[in-house]
């Protein structure tokens, strides 16, 4: 499951569904759902930013990103990410740059309207590096206040 909040709405990506449930962010009461013809049942990630007016939905089954107006649920635009990237994760930053993670260890960035900006390949991480990261992270204390 993935969650995104935009304004007064909470959006959820739930495994094996072809829609995105929408809830009131304050009360968690169901409000509606968003669905479009042709959506697959593999929507692993959602992204929203308070400085960006849209909700982005990754449809990994169709290798497609949907840009949605969160208040109305209307589709603004969509674009395909080629078959080598099944959009396992998506994020959007304050400048509305959409970043997509691919299972092939590739990171891709797009403009808010879907124009490709850049692509970066992450080399495989050595087991020694993973061990070091684990050792460091196990010594760090996290607190939420």
Q: In percent, how much of the chain has pLDDT > 70?
A: 83
Position 63 pLDDT exceeds 90: no
Residues 87, 81 contacting (CB under 8 angstroms)? yes
Q: Give mean pLDDT, residues 28-38.
A: 90
For 14-134, list the strands marked E by DSSP.
20-24, 30-34, 45-48, 55-59, 64-68, 75-80, 89-92, 98-102, 106-110, 116-121
Q: Given a cut of 80, is residue 18 above it in pLDDT?
A: yes
Q: Measured in Å, how far apart are the chain's first and last C-alpha atoms? A: 25
What is the overall mean pLDDT for the chain? 82
Q: What is the pLDDT of residue 45?
A: 85
Q: Which residue did the predictor score with more confidence, 131 or 96?
A: 96
Burial code (b: 16+ CB inside 10 Å, e: under 16) for 48-58 equals bbeebbbbbbb
Question: What pLDDT does 42 receive?
Answer: 78
What domains can you pick out in the chain, each with its CATH number? 2-137 (2.130.10.10)
Whole-model pTM: value is 0.79
């Amino acid at each position: 499951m993935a969650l995104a909040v935009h304004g007064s709405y909470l959006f959820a990506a739930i495994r094996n569904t072809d829609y995105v449930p929408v809830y009131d962010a304050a009360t968690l009461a169901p409000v509606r759902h968003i669905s479009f013809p042709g959506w697959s049942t593999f929507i692993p990630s959602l992204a929203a930013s308070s400085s960006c007016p849209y909700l982005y939905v990754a449809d990994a089954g169709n290798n497609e990103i949907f840009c949605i107006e969160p208040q109305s649920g209307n589709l603004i635009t969509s674009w395909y990410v080629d078959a080598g990237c099944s959009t396992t994760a998506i994020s959007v930053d304050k400048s509305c740059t959409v970043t997509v993670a691919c299972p092939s260890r590739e990171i891709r960035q797009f403009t808010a309207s879907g124009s490709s900006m850049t692509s970066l390949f992450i080399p495989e991480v050595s087991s020694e590096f993973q061990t070091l990261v684990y050792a460091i992270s196990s010594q760090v204390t996290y607190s939420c206040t």
